Amino acid sequence: MRTNAVRDQIMETASRLFYTQGYNNTGINQIIEEAGIAKASLYQHFSSKEELLIEYLELAGLRMTDMFQAATEAHVSPADKVIAIFDLLDQLVQRKTYNGCRFLNIISEISMENERVRDQVKAQKDSLRNLFAEILKPVRKESLADELYLLVEAVFISSKIYGQAWPVETAKRMVQKLM
């Protein structure tokens, strides 16, 4: 395999395992075995399991930000853009493979002292808060960005707990009241 192909295979495997079974329950040997690579190949690309985790969080963060932004692009009004984000959440939480928010799952497994991982999770969460502020700026309601962000987090957590979509519908009703 080419170097980039090996790296991609490692990331694809680690991402799947971190999401489905958790960071702490995923071992380096399992990643190596399921990726079909040699141990030396993994360490050629990543110096540690934590390095792999950081890249996983970076890539997942970029994907989520792109998805949220893409969801808003077809809309003009800030209210419609915000609802579009919650419509996207509705699609995400109803997937058969939904296992909660990747970032909340990881942060629940990591020690509070691990600032590097916490900072990476915060960066992704701040990107959503900033997107809401940007959307609301034309109507001078940027102060609602944090409330909307908290509703997103509530949707992620409640949908994982209940395995149902009602948290998104409830959040959408709350958004309409806020807007």
Residue 36 · residue 1 · CB < 8 Å: no
CA triple 73-123-93, angle to 5 deg: 55
What confidence tens digit (pLDDT) does each residue in 17-69 have?
Answer: 999 999 999 999 999 999 999 999 999 999 999 999 999 999 999 999 999 99
Domain spans in the chain, listed from the N-terminal domain onward: 1-47, 49-178
* Residue listed under structure tokens 């930000």: 65
Q: 1-47 adopts what CATH topology? A: Arc Repressor Mutant, subunit A (1.10.10)
Q: Average pLDDT of the chain? A: 94
What confidence tens digit (pLDDT) does each residue in 3-16 have?
Answer: 688 999 999 999 99
> Does the pTM exceed 0.75?
yes
Domain spanning 49-178, CATH architecture: Orthogonal Bundle (1.10)
Greatest CA span in the chain, whole angstroms?
Answer: 55
- Region 65-90: mean pLDDT is 96
Percent of the chain with pLDDT over 90: 92
Residue 46 · residue 129 · CB < 8 Å: no
